[in-house]
Amino acid sequence: MSGTVVTTRRRLGKAGPEVLGIGLGCMSLSGVYGPSDDEAGIRLIHRAIELGVDHFDSSDMYGWGQNEELLGRALKGRRNGIVIATKFGQTRRSGGANGVDGRPAASAARMPSIPSRRCRANSRSSTARRRPRRAS
């Protein structure tokens, strides 16, 4: 892939936003695979944006919210034109095994904390929303 620049854009869903064909999955920025460094993660996100990445994937289970908070800090002042996809519904269980609770009532109970406390990602499971670019 040396010297190759990906410029192909793809539409998300039938009427969703268009994004670069390659996005950035953020799971590894939250210590899922070992110790993490928030400042290095923020630098990586900033560099990805400089290179044209406009689609970031996160989840409330990546660091149990830490990933979305990191993404929110990294995107502060840079949010225009960026699409964030997030997934939710994972639950912690004693003994280390995760559970899943995607019932509407359980999801609605978690929703108030996700947009305000984290990266203000959309509030629908596994969907994405682009913040419109502001006129210059």
Q: Which residues are catalytic?
A: 62
Percentage above 90 pLDDT, the chain: 18
CA distance 88 to 90: 6
More confident residue, 2 or 109: 109
Question: What's the mean pLDDT when you consider all of the chain?
Answer: 76
Domains of the chain, CATH where assigned:
18-122 (3.20.20.100)
CA distance 35 to 30: 8
Q: Does 133 have pLDDT greater than 60?
A: no
Q: What is the pLDDT of residues 85-126, one digit of tens each?
A: 877 777 877 877 788 887 888 777 665 444 334 444 333 333
More confident residue, 81 or 43: 43
